[in-house]
């Protein structure tokens, strides 16, 4: 099984920091470097041997292997060169998306506090 997982992992280029920080681009005379949260993973498993009661034929010998992987890239913002120096500008859509669970948990906690106090 390790061979399948290793083969999958070998298909992903090893870019290190370059995965999270894009190449510098110039838009309208302004230099910027895009920033993203990047995560990926792989896994695999195997099963073998007699299955007993689970198999249609009690004498059958069943085995199987499997592997898979996935990833995500979320644009966080960009570093922008300004007259004041290098500044980070967050992506407002991503910030709103990330804040939804935070606001939900805060609302839940406040409701518990109000119920306990009343």
Sequence-separated contacts (24+) of 45-51 with Cβ below 8 Å: 45/1, 46/1
Rounded CA separation 17/26 (Å): 20
Rounded CA separation 71/39 (Å): 6
* Complete edge-to-edge strand list for the sheet that includes strand 85-90: 25-27, 30-47, 64-82, 85-90
Q: How is 1-20 classified by DSSP, letter by letter?
A: -HHHHHHHHHTS---GGGGT
SS3 98: helix
How open is the CA angle 81-85-91, to the nearest 5 degrees?
Answer: 50
**pLDDT score recorded for residue 108:** 96
Instruction: Render each residue's pLDDT in the chain as its tens digit; 118 residues.
Output: 457 667 766 776 666 677 788 889 998 889 999 999 888 787 777 777 665 555 555 555 667 778 788 888 889 999 999 889 999 999 999 888 888 999 999 999 999 999 998 7
Who contacts 81 (Cβ-Cβ below 8 Å, separation ≥6)?
30, 31, 32
**pLDDT score recorded for residue 57:** 55
Catalogue the E-assigned strands of the chain. 25-27, 30-47, 64-82, 85-90
**pLDDT score recorded for residue 5:** 65
């Amino acid at each position: 099984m390790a061979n399948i997982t290793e083969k999958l992992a070998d298909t992903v280029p090893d870019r290190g920091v370059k995965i999270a920080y894009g190449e510098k681009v110039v838009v309208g005379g302004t230099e910027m470097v895009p920033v993203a949260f990047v995560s990926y993973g792989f896994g695999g498993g195997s099963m073998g041997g007699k299955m007993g009661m689970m198999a249609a034929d009690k004498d059958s010998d069943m085995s199987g292997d499997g592997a898979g992987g996935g990833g995500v890239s979320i644009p966080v913002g960009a570093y922008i060169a300004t007259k004041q120096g290098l500044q980070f500008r967050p992506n407002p859509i991503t910030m709103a998306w990330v804040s939804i669970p935070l606001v939900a948990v805060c609302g839940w906690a406040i409701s518990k506090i109000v119920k306990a106090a009343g």
